[in-house]
A and B are shown apart, each in its own frame.
Chain A
Amino acid sequence: MFIMKNEKRGGDEIKIEILEFLINGPTSIKKISDKIESNWSTTSNYLLELKEEGKVSELISSGNLKIFRRNDDPVFYGIPIKKEVRARTLYLLLKIIERWKEIKKISIPKTTLQKIAVDVIYEKKLDLPILDFHYGRVTALAIDPAYNLEGIYKTTPIDGKIVLEIDNQIRNHTIFAKQERINQYKKYKMALYLMREKLLEEFEKKNNIKNIERFLLELSLEYPSNNNEVFLLLDKFTSSSVLLLNSKDSEKFLEDVRDCFYCLWDLLTTNSYFRGIASSVDKEDLDLFNEIRSFHIKSKLAKCFELVSDLESVSNSVDISKLSLEDEEESKKAMGILLEGVEEE
């Protein structure tokens, strides 16, 4: 009966069935093969074909665990968020795309789309996740305005004069990605992100080491030195970089400092994204969520650890006895306060 069922359905039909099943979110080969009532090997073959057709990709491939997602799955990292959250966020984004086209007569850039959506969510106090990611605050979905998702994924309309608010926000936004980012950072007082922008500008210019040092120190003062391993890495990076940037050959270390910073920023913002989105995942999908998180964070953490360790070992070779601080009485006194009672420590 089993063989007959598959013989009755052609390969194309089965692949359509797999794609429709994946509309619900990423899932394992086992669940897919249960759904289409086929064995692992056959299912795997169909998935390979779909992969070659550019329709699916492996989210995780580790030992026997293989998780697949549709390539047009709009959620960042293919995270299995609650269906209602996805449906409402998608509705919002599609509505913004539609209204922007109507008003501006051009397509909306991806960055602008996200920034408008975030503003609307805040203004209308919508119960939808807003997450800190690489370039600022975003929604849980990453959709390409050029790719029409309407009719593929379910949407749930949002009430409460949402279109009025969207139109209002459209008036305040531009097509310029950098301007959109900076405006958002200033509006929501995102000091860490503003600091990053300044730092990146200085890395580009390469000629003012003191500014780079300053922004690194300011950035380090924006995050606490707690037990989180990501922040501990950032802390080590800051210390090593400051010592290197004050050494004799500071310009030679600039590129390594910059590369290390990019890597850490990626890790920091990916980490904060996953922390933020966790509450939008159903209990029964938490295992899958944790697998996806672990997969992404582990690899980034390993890379950052290596880069920071390299930087640290170079900074350890700096002859610190030759470095001197400005003879500045106020900060000396402040340090004196921190050193009070050290003999009793």
Chain B
Amino acid sequence: MRWFLDMCFIVYYASETNNPLEDKVRILVKNKKENYLVCLYILNKNLPDWIKRNKEIIFEAKKIVESGEKNPNLDQGNSILSKKQNVQLKKLLNQYSISNNKKDFFINIKKRLIYLEGKINFFIEKYIDEKVIPIEQINKELRSSLLTYLDNNISDANTIASGIQENKNKEAILVTADKQHWTKDNLEWALPEHSSLRKEYPNLPEIRYIQDS
């Protein structure tokens, strides 16, 4: 069996934040019998960008703390960070404000992030069996159609498109924790019966959720 992994699978393996999905993933990996696949979009673009964004959040939070601004206006948004990142920034600043160890707060998070990155690399090195679908080979029409049903989430569109394409090469099961977007319905709406896309990809991959494993 071939499991085509969503990015969150890799991140949950590497992280230690008391999230129950982390333990689930580690157990799955411990009992691994399948081939693990990851698309090159995740490896070369999505994961590095995500790690970079987290470093930016930590840096911006520290900058705000050091500026001494008591009530930074984050509702206006920080021009460097996205809307979602600004929300995380706010939460991080709240966490800092109630911290008992402010002196080491940012150093400890930075160190955790470094370890996370290290464990992600370790996972990829040790457990990934196949790296599939170069970014430039992602079917643009397929991605575009998926985008419509995935709330314009370009990362999901690229990843799922890669999964569908790889499933055509050889059967693969998509594995994720995203029950909201990675659904059979969304795939079927994006590739309706009798459409040219469906002719090209007649067999849609099965989806499995980490939560249900």
Contact = CB atoms under 8 A, between A and B. Distances in A.
Contacts, number: 119
Contacts of B46: 345
A332 B181 CA distance: 27
SS class, residues of chain A in contact with chain B = helix
A330 B8 contact: no
Nearest to B159: A345
B115 interface: yes
- Sort chain B's interface into a size bin: 35 or more
Interface stretch (B69-77, B103-111, B166-174, B198-206): B103-111
A320 B178 contact: no
- Sort chain A's interface into a size bin: 35 or more
A335 B153 contact: no
Given A225-B59, A341-B84, A242 B122 contact: no
B15 A320 contact: no
B180 A344 contact: yes
B17 interface: yes
Interface string A201-236: 000000000000110011011001100000000010
Contacts of A220: 110
Contact of B92 (A217, A225, A334): A334
B4 to A, nearest CB: 15
B138 to A, nearest CB: 17
SS class, residues of chain B in contact with chain A = helix
A163 B119 CA distance: 60
Contact of A235 (B54, B55, B105): B55
Given A224-B56, A243-B114, 12 more contacts: A221-B110, A224-B59, A225-B56, A320-B118, A333-B17, A334-B108, A334-B109, A335-B116, A339-B19, A342-B50, A343-B8, A345-B155
B165 interface: no
A335 B106 contact: no
A221 B54 contact: no
A217 B50 CA distance: 20
Given A330-B99, A337-B91, A342-B11, A320 B115 contact: yes
A320 B126 CA distance: 11
A325 interface: yes
A224 B177 CA distance: 31
B178 A343 contact: yes
B114 A344 contact: no
B6 A214 contact: no
A151 interface: no
Nearest to A336: B17
B113 interface: yes
Interface string B21-38: 000000000000000000
B139 interface: no
B132 interface: no
A343 B111 CA distance: 22
Interface in B108-167: 108-119, 121-122, 125, 153, 155-156
Given A217-B107, A330-B108, A344-B181, A335 B113 contact: yes
B88 interface: yes
